[in-house]
Structure 1
Amino acid sequence: MGAGWAWVLTAVLAASPEPKVVSPLIKVRPGAAVEGRAEAKLSVARGECEAAQVVLPGNIQRVTAQPLTLSGEGAALKASVWREAFLDVKTPSNSQGRTGPWPDALVPVETPGEPSLPTVLYVEVCAPETQAPGKYRGELHVKADTKAMAAVPFTVEVQPFVLPATASLPTSFGISLYSISRGHGLSPESPEAHALLRDYARTLLEHRVSAHGLSMEAPPVRFENGRAVVDFRAYDEEMAPYFDGTLLPSGARFTTSDVRDNRKASTDEEKVAYYRAFAEHFQSKGWPAQLFFYAKDEPKPEDVPLVRAQSKRVRAAGKIPVLVTSPLDDALQGTADILTPTLNCFFPRPGPQTCRNVLPLSKLRSRLPANAKVWWYQSCNSHGCNGGPIPEAATERAYTGWASYMVDHPAPLNRAMGPLAFLTGVDGELYFDTVYAYNTQDPWKGLFEFGGNGDGTLFYPGTPKRLGTQAHQPVVSLRLKHLRDGLEDYEYLHLLAKLGDEDTARALARRLTRSGYDIEQRVGEWETVRQALTSRLRARWESSEYAKRPGVRP
């Protein structure tokens, strides 16, 4: 949502004969009375992507769009255009969800749609770090079936300030070669599957997200006189581009990486030597990504001895933090260097609690060693693990309002994690998977997992049969775009604080995310806050050393 949006309240789109532009923070559903305007006005920082939705009138099956190029102060900007596909939700995630079609997958614009559903185009403009500030203009020309629609004017104002290519907030979202292969009907050993895995991981990096898992192939190791001799050649071929900044033109890098455990290391001594070799390899390469060991996920009481043993071995190797997904737990005391509770463990609220040990971040930090980090993650403890409204009203309220990556929840909830992370000061975000439903069902027909629509799945398998394309490709969800926009919100707030105006940054963040379960859902308020943030940032930037010395970056 760019700072230049100035909404004009007009007639309901369904009654309009011309295309209308609406905020990306509105999920356009069948029969919804959505208001918009005739032109798109976006504001984008250098190093940022911003989008608008264009809703076409009438019952349309096929859409074609001419390339959208915007001319202005510097090199032309080129927009990407997708058509929004709908997921039929059969069981709501909770009382905030609804059954029926919800927009989510972003498919090639030429992909046939269902005429009974709205035709919505997602139009995105990305400004490179080197883009000259100023205004850029162009027109989107589309045909609905064989009929030419009225051109939609686009104005994009590129701001002088720059967002860093590599995310300032560490993240680690799961992805798996084996899940991707299954979803696309490929052999995981095939070169095609490995190339597709890179496409998926590259797409996450393009959205400011770092990944763990990937091929899951541990580098070969042998042991000589108590020393681990590790062959990192295949590992480096796969992973180095994410760590050294060569994968994307922007130079973006992963912020984190998990240690790949190796079954060849069977004794405690061998495991310690292997972990030490992993840490030394990262250090020798000069990779800035935070290496970490992901201990037993969500350990139960019977898993405590295992987690303690894992932590002891990894710490004996040195320089690799141990990540434990758990609320503060006396039984696990001293095992975690990165303690990672679920989001609902940080925010006490009236009524039943959905975490066994709820502690605000400041209190949690006071109970941990000074050098410990605190991350968080979403789970079904936010939306409810069974699906649908819970009959008991107080319990249902306990599972509503939270920041959420569910398909059938409002877009502001999908976007909220970024500003919420800035406001609280949490150190990073974990998410268990981005392609989970590839293993269990056809994601195009349903994403209901763990009581939520989309829990653990932020992509769709773009097979040639589904899309009519020559090659397999990842299909991005609207939710991943909203997640990315929230991480860009974090960058805006982080940059303003870095430029000496943290009080304003915190005040603006608080208007959007008052707590993990109290998220502003009025699109106009998100717009107003972004306008104020952009204005304040621009003024601070223009009086800073970064404006006077263009080569210097925050």
Structure 2
Amino acid sequence: MGAGWAWVVMAAVAATPEPMVVSALVKVRPGAALQGRPQARLSVARGECEGVQVVLPGTARRLEVTPLFLGGPGEALPAALWREGYLPVHLASNSQGAQGAWPDPLLPLSAPVPDGDPDLPTVLYVEVCAPEGQSPGTYRGTLRARFNKVERVAVPFTVEVQPFVLPATSSLPTSFGISLYSIARGHGLNPDSPEARALLRAYARVLLEHRVSAHGMSMTPPPVRFEDGKALLDWSAYDAEMGPFLEGTLLDSGARFTTADLRDNKQAVTEEEKVAYYRAFAEHFQTKGWPAQLFFYTKDEPKPEDVPLVLAQSRRVRAAGGSRVLITSPFDATLAPAADILAPTLNCFYPRSGPATCRAVHELAELRAKLPEATQVWWYQSCNSHGCNGGPAPDSARERAYSGWASYMVDHPAPLNRAMGPLAFASGVDGELYFDTVFAYNTKEDPWTDLLEFGGNGDGTLFYPGTPRHLGDSGHHPVQSLRLKHLRDGLEDYEYLRLLSELGDQAFARDAARHLVRSGWDISRDAREWTQVRQLVTARLRQRWSTSEFAKRPGRHTPQSTP
């Protein structure tokens, strides 16, 4: 990892004689005053993953960790472990952030420890995932580590596997961008190489493991030729790329993408050819029986001069049938009728005093009343969640208007990274869009040292390029981020609340969500509060589940949502 890292010198974390277990909702920064416990206790539903942080005393230059397995009433549960790396933030995203080192990349334990600031904390991220078929009950084990060849630590782990089950496929449709070409550039590979395409699948697999569906991918449309007005497509390459994600065969859990984008094709030139091509695309999905929502992503964030193009795109897709038209825009009387999925930014749903951050703010119920009944409403984050220029705004009222929002920025509190899932449940929105997960690969010389885009640290980038230079082995791997874990945990919050609502406790679920996320810009940042609410929801779910029809079913124990 050596030469690729630039470290920011900060005050040292006070050395502790014993390891400390800290909530995953606390970002462990140099010099931070931490509250923790000597042992780890986790609760995990079947079909869920939960993580916790173990802060080791002092600075570990050489670290050896014994594999952690937890024994209990069923098959032993293995734990996945990473070492937390740090991103040097040179310009804060806004007043909620700060310069200095922020934890974000999750490094394999085999990665070399970088030379640099000796005061950076040594933090392990430990994650336990319970498969759907795991026997409920209490599982125990001990995390044992040796560092600097001499010092040894032992951290007891207790994991309570709950009887209720979360669905493998997200109940909330999502679509996050990813690009073969950005991945290839970030890793220094030829995008046409088998290695780059295998790496794309690895990145998309990680997204699916975190309940996230992807659009873009290779971006290569299936080749097409036209005969007698009919589009004849060669699906071989497309099906090889996308089939495992749409059929649920990639992961043992059977998880599938909830959505897929209709890829435009320059071989379709005339209006008739484009309609025929779109129709063939939709028919292929129907023939395959893929339940994912197929959508056409129109011109992104259309300006007034783009309106004719977006309307033309919508007419073609609707003439073909079988696909939804997605338009990223606040409510606009001209564009809205052309959308089957209207996706304004998060800021457009929550009124707030001060300078406007969306030109047409409508609460969800008000927005639905303005739209045709069948129109779905999604949302997405943009730089409006932190300000688009970087650093605190000179005007205090403007800075306040861009603060407090749910955010995927590195230098924002972890609860803001996690908030989109509970917000989706509390609001009733139909899905979440995000423009990219590897954007900085294409724009930055070294994403490991700089993720500032659109005024935010990490805007559009949820991974780091795991190259041989950084990981110390011969391969290329996606390095996931703490923020991706928080995003996943928020989607699991959504599943908890949705399941509790389905079991007849809608009012309790709604109140629990609103205790944490009162609006898109009024979100609890107290990790203890998030933990307490999850404990209350878990207890309520156990009670409801024990008398439900799902608890008596063999095989799958929870309804599988159809996007």
CA offset digits 1:60-101 (Å, max 9, x no partner): 222221100100010000000100000000000000000000
SS in 2 for 1:261: coil
Q: Distance in 1 between matches of 2:52 and 2:413?
A: 16
The aligned runs of 1:372-451 (5 Å cut-off) are: 372-441=375-444, 442-451=446-455
SS in 2 for 1:274: helix
Matched, 1:487 2:514: no
Task: Kindly report the root-mean-square deviation, in angstroms, between the aligned alpha carbons of the 2 structures.
Answer: 1.0
Q: How many angstroms does 1:415 deviate by?
A: 0.1
| Residue number in structure 1 paired with 2:145 | 142
| Residue number in structure 1 paired with 2:521 | 517
CA offset digits 1:432-491 (Å, max 9, x no partner): 000000011111011000000000000000001111123100000000000000000000
Instruction: Please give the TM-score of this superposition, normalised by the length of structure 2.
Output: 0.95
Q: Distance in 2 between matches of 1:130 and 1:213?
A: 33
Q: How many angstroms does 1:52 deviate by?
A: 0.7
CA offset digits 1:279-335 (Å, max 9, x no partner): 000000000000000000000000000001000000000121100000001231311
The letter for the 2-side match of 1:346 is F
CA offset digits 1:379-431 (Å, max 9, x no partner): 00110000000111111000000000000000000000000000000000000
Q: How many angstroms does 1:550 deviate by?
A: 3.1
Matched, 1:204 2:202: no
The aligned runs of 1:435-474 (5 Å cut-off) are: 435-441=438-444, 442-474=446-478
| Residue number in structure 1 paired with 2:9 | none
CA offset digits 1:246-285 (Å, max 9, x no partner): 0000000000000010000001100000000000000000
Q: Distance in 1 between matches of 2:552 and 2:96?
A: 48
SS in 2 for 1:152: strand
Q: Distance in 2 between matches of 1:488 and 1:98?
A: 29
Equivalent pair of 1:93/1:453 in contact (CA under 8 Å): yes
The letter for the 1-side match of 2:55 is V
Equivalent pair of 1:13/1:57 in contact (CA under 8 Å): no
| Residue number in structure 2 paired with 1:9 | none
% same residue: 70
| Residue number in structure 2 paired with 1:553 | 558
Q: Distance in 2 between matches of 1:456 and 1:13?
A: 30
Q: Distance in 2 between matches of 1:58 and 1:312?
A: 63
Q: How many angstroms does 1:351 deviate by?
A: 1.0
Instruction: Please give the TM-score of this superposition, normalised by the length of structure 1.
Output: 0.97
Q: Which moved more, 1:318-327 or 1:113-122?
A: 113-122
Q: Distance in 1 between matches of 2:87 and 2:493?
A: 27
SS in 2 for 1:44: strand
The letter for the 1-side match of 2:313 is Q
SS in 1 for 2:86: strand
| Residue number in structure 2 paired with 1:477 | 481
Q: How many angstroms does 1:534 deviate by?
A: 0.2
Q: Distance in 1 between matches of 2:49 and 2:398?
A: 39
| Residue number in structure 1 paired with 2:255 | 252
Q: Distance in 1 between matches of 2:220 and 2:287?
A: 21
| Residue number in structure 2 paired with 1:281 | 284
| Residue number in structure 2 paired with 1:80 | 80
Q: Distance in 2 between matches of 1:24 and 1:212?
A: 28
| Residue number in structure 2 paired with 1:60 | 60
The letter for the 1-side match of 2:467 is T
The letter for the 2-side match of 1:32 is A
Q: Distance in 2 between matches of 1:154 and 1:71?
A: 10
Equivalent pair of 1:403/1:517 in contact (CA under 8 Å): yes
Q: Distance in 1 between matches of 2:63 and 2:346?
A: 40
CA offset digits 1:213-244 (Å, max 9, x no partner): 00011000000111101111110011000011
Equivalent pair of 2:146/2:153 in contact (CA under 8 Å): no
| Residue number in structure 2 paired with 1:291 | 294
Q: Distance in 1 between matches of 2:473 and 2:141?
A: 28
CA offset digits 1:357-377 (Å, max 9, x no partner): 000000000000000000000
SS in 2 for 1:366: helix
Aligned residues: 543
Equivalent pair of 1:19/1:149 in contact (CA under 8 Å): no
Q: How many angstroms does 1:148 deviate by?
A: 3.4
| Residue number in structure 2 paired with 1:109 | 109
Matched, 1:21 2:59: no
Matched, 1:535 2:546: no
| Residue number in structure 1 paired with 2:327 | 324
Matched, 1:92 2:92: yes
SS in 2 for 1:241: helix
Equivalent pair of 2:145/2:154 in contact (CA under 8 Å): yes
Q: Distance in 2 between matches of 1:385 and 1:61?
A: 38
Q: How many angstroms does 1:15 deviate by?
A: 4.2
Equivalent pair of 1:62/1:110 in contact (CA under 8 Å): no
| Residue number in structure 2 paired with 1:266 | 269
The counterpart of 2:217, out of the listed 214, 217, 224, is: 214
Q: Distance in 2 between matches of 1:88 and 1:397?
A: 25
The letter for the 1-side match of 2:131 is P
| Residue number in structure 2 paired with 1:178 | 181
| Residue number in structure 2 paired with 1:368 | 371
Q: How many angstroms does 1:123 deviate by?
A: 0.3
| Residue number in structure 2 paired with 1:5 | none
SS in 2 for 1:212: strand
Q: Distance in 2 between matches of 1:47 and 1:38?
A: 27
The aligned runs of 1:224-243 (5 Å cut-off) are: 224-243=227-246
Q: How many angstroms does 1:50 deviate by?
A: 0.4
Matched, 1:502 2:511: no
| Residue number in structure 1 paired with 2:6 | none
Q: How many angstroms does 1:352 deviate by?
A: 1.2
The letter for the 1-side match of 2:354 is G
SS in 2 for 1:349: coil
The letter for the 2-side match of 1:108 is P
Equivalent pair of 1:175/1:435 in contact (CA under 8 Å): yes
Q: Distance in 1 between matches of 2:529 and 2:443?
A: 39
